[in-house]
């Protein structure tokens, strides 16, 4: 049911050309920027090659004219040299601006596209990925895709056009020379890049894998540093980091070795090209088939052509890492959503009652059932508490009600099957206060207004009072504009829960689900909170998940006991509290007033 996303190395996009075509398809909206960047790169490269060739021809012509005393028109070539120099410098500057602008636009589009693909997967389809792995796919892997445009596409296009122009020029002056140049150009522009790509695929994939492993280990080490110190496993964790680092360094050394060999091969091919020009050009010079300035121009032209070919082997050696990142991104994006959204709009109902029959839920095909035949009813306006030991399935029940996980059995909302509802519509009718609520790194006001962006100050004040936060807010120097920090680091656990409760009340949903809302609160504050919630939710439904018995009679009408993924009994609150008393209460209650054996 909840399977880990497929291994990128087994992804269906094993062909690099297919992956590149898909990347270009996703960049469709920015092809104008990409084309402009490629055109400027071509312009600056051709200008540099032309500058070198024309300069050589001009200098040789001037030397011969000076030796012979012949007249020569130096204005035209001098102006052409100045023009090519300006085009080379200005084109290079503009090319850097445009290509990087295009790259950043494409990466932004890719990141938004990937995030849009991830939303339907959360949380069921992403359960096999840790946060560091997911962050690595969303940031590092997407960033690595810039090489596909800057390092592969543009150099390839420039090399193709430059090679064609150089061969055409050689064919015009000396046809046999054009045939010879096919050999070194094929070596440096085709064979070496192909060899580098083939040999660089495995170490490139290893670099991506080890980089993600190191990010995960670093995140785990920071998040679990107290546990590592407690159990004395810091050395073992450091050894795992060292092993991953060694593998990363070995893979990078292999890639660097490929780049060095490829660079030397291109330099050798360039020398072969020059030798070929001299071998075929000098006899033509003696037979007056070729003029001396033309021979100088062809020599420099052959050398300059390899400036466009030189980046290819290194770029294609790095292509393995880029394709590995692309396959990881596409493998994650192509993971089918575990919960399928209906095509039709959500039904229109006039009742918000919930009915659950034979509900079963598992977090994986090989995982045990965390819910195994749950039967439960929550009529509109009814208030129900679900109690039970940790691991009984209480929080999993909430996940099924919100259509976050696939399930078996039947859940109806307003008499209509829950799987005919759009997920967002379900979650608009069921406000949830999680056991560990998340607060964004923003002001208290912003965190509350997530539930209702257009909320007025009067509405905010009302829910703050209902959540027993009025005293806390009054003590803040900036009131609602006080920053709460990342994940609420500047507030206590009890305050974070009450902020989440105020946010849920602000949503004004017909059903309110509270998962351990009084955790971290003293008994007096918890009782006042229950009383305020009872008044605030008048006429609406409440589902309370709790370990604490205090104040239950104030808020809920019935108590359902869950064990091993099933509801074993559901009785009125008064009956439940009457049964659970005396010696049983004393033996089951913890010193903090929590009941652990329910």
Report domain extents, the chain.
16-333, 354-589
* pLDDT value of residue 39: 93
* pLDDT value of residue 534: 87
Give the chain's mean pLDDT. Answer: 85
Which of 57-66, 165-174, 379-388, 427-436 has the least mean pLDDT? 57-66
Q: How far apart are alpha carbons 573 and 556 in whole angstroms?
A: 7
Residue 509 is inside which H or E element, if any?
none
Answer whether residue 445 shows pLDDT above 60.
yes
User: Would you place residue 580 in the very low, low, confident or very high pLDDT band (cuts 50, 70, 90)?
Assistant: low
* pLDDT value of residue 416: 93
Q: Give 513's DSSP letter.
A: E
Which of 348-362, 478-492, 518-532, 579-593 has the least mean pLDDT? 579-593
Which of 26-40, 235-249, 403-417 has the least mean pLDDT? 26-40
Answer whether residue 310 shows pLDDT above 90.
no
pLDDT in tens, 46-80: 998 889 888 888 888 888 887 776 767 778 888 99
* pLDDT value of residue 575: 86
Whether 448 and 463 have beta carbons less than 8 Å apart is answered as: yes
Closest among 195, 29, 8, 185 to 107, alpha carbons compared: 29
* pLDDT value of residue 551: 72
Answer whether residue 227 shows pLDDT above 70.
yes
What is the mean predicted confidence (pLDDT) over 538-559? 84
**Chain centroid offset of residue 39 CA:** 31
Residue 441 is inside which H or E element, if any?
none
Closest among 547, 518, 549 to 532, alpha carbons compared: 518
User: Would you place residue 15 in the very low, low, confident or very high pLDDT band (cuts 50, 70, 90)?
Assistant: low
CA distances from 408 to 54, 371, 491 (A): 77, 10, 39
What is the mean predicted confidence (pLDDT) over 452-459? 91
- Order of strands across the sheet with 369-378? 369-378, 354-362, 408-413, 416-417
Which of 123-132, 309-318, 527-536 has the least mean pLDDT? 123-132
Residues pairing with 545 in the sheet: 386, 515
* pLDDT value of residue 588: 36
pLDDT in tens, 537-548: 888 899 998 877
What is the mean predicted confidence (pLDDT) over 475-490? 86
Answer whether residue 6 shows pLDDT above 50.
no
Pairing of strands 566-572, 558-563: antiparallel
What is the mean predicted confidence (pLDDT) over 113-142? 82
Whether 598 and 516 have beta carbons less than 8 Å apart is answered as: no
Answer whether residue 597 shows pLDDT above 60.
no
- For domain 16-333, the CATH class is mainly alpha
User: Would you place residue 590 in the very low, low, confident or very high pLDDT band (cuts 50, 70, 90)?
Assistant: very low
Which of 195-199, 379-383, 549-553 has the least mean pLDDT? 549-553
Residues pairing with 513 in the sheet: 432, 543
- For domain 354-589, the CATH class is alpha beta
What is the mean predicted confidence (pLDDT) over 270-299? 89
Closest among 84, 87, 89 to 51, alpha carbons compared: 84
What is the mean predicted confidence (pLDDT) over 587-597? 37
* pLDDT value of residue 409: 93
Closest among 141, 137, 118, 129 to 3, alpha carbons compared: 129
Handedness of CA 538, 544, 548, 552 (dihedral sign): positive
């Amino acid at each position: 049911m909840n399977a880990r996303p497929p291994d990128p190395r087994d992804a269906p996009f094993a062909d690099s050309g297919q992956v590149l075509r898909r990347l270009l398809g996703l960049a469709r909206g920015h092809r104008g920027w990409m084309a402009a960047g490629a055109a400027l790169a071509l312009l600056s490269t051709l200008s540099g090659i032309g500058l070198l060739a024309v300069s050589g021809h001009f200098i040789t012509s001037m030397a011969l004219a000076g030796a012979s005393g012949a007249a020569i028109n130096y204005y035209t070539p001098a102006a052409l040299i100045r023009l090519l120099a300006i085009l080379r410098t200005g084109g290079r500057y503009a090319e850097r601006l445009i290509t990087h602008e295009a790259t950043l636009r494409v990466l932004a589009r890719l990141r938004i596209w990937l995030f849009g693909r991830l939303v339907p997967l959360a949380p069921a389809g992403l359960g096999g990925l840790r946060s560091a792995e997911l962050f690595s796919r969303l940031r590092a892997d997407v960033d690595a895709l810039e090489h596909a445009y800057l390092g592969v596409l543009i150099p390839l296009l420039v090399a193709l056009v430059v090679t064609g122009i150089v061969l055409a020029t050689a064919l015009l002056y000396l046809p046999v020379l054009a045939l010879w140049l096919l050999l070194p150009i094929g070596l440096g522009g085709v064979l070496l890049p192909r060899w580098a790509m083939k040999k660089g695929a495995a170490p490139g994939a290893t670099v991506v894998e080890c980089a993600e492993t190191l990010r995960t280990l670093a995140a785990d080490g920071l998040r679990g540093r107290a546990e590592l110190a407690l159990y004395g496993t810091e050395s073992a964790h450091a050894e795992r980091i060292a092993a991953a680092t060694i593998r990363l360094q070995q893979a990078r050394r292999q890639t660097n070795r490929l780049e060095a060999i490829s660079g030397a091969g291109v330099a050798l091919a360039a020398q072969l090209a020059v030798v070929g020009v001299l071998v075929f050009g000098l006899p033509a010079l003696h037979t007056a088939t070729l003029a001396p300035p033309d021979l100088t121009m062809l020599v420099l032209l052959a050398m300059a052509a390899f400036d466009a070919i030189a980046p290819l082997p290194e770029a294609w050696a790095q292509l393995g890492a880029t394709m590995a990142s692309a396959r990881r991104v596409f493998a994650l994006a192509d993971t089918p959503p575990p919960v399928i959204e209906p095509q039709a709009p959500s039904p229109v109902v006039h009742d918000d009652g919930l009915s659950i029959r034979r509900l079963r839920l598992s977090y994986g095909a090989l995982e045990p059932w965390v819910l195994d035949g749950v039967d439960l009813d929550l009529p509109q306006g009814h208030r129900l508490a679900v109690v039970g030991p940790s691991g009984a399935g209480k929080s999993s029940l909430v996940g099924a009600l919100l259509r976050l996980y696939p399930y078996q059995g039947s859940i109806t909302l307003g008499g209509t099957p829950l799987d005919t509802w759009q997920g967002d519509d379900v979650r608009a009718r069921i406000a949830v206060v999680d056991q560990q609520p998340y607060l964004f790194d923003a002001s208290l006001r912003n965190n509350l207004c997530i539930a209702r962006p257009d909320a007025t100050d009067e509405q905010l004040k009302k829910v703050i009072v209902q959540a027993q936060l009025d005293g806390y807010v009054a003590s803040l120097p900036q009131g609602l504009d006080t920053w709460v920090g990342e994940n609420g680091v500047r507030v206590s656990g009890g305050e974070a829960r009450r902020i989440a409760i105020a946010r849920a009340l602000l949503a004004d949903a017909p059903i309110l689900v509270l998962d351990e809302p009084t955790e971290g609160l003293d008994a007096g504050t918890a009782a006042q909170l229950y009383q305020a919630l009872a008044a605030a939710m008048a006429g609406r439904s409440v589902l309370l998940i709790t370990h604490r018995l205090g104040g239950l009679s104030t808020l809920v009408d019935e108590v359902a006991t869950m064990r091993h993924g099933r509801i074993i009994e559901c009785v009125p609150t008064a009956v439940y509290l009457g049964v659970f008393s005396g010696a049983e209460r004393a033996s089951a209650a913890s010193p903090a007033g929590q009941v652990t054996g329910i």
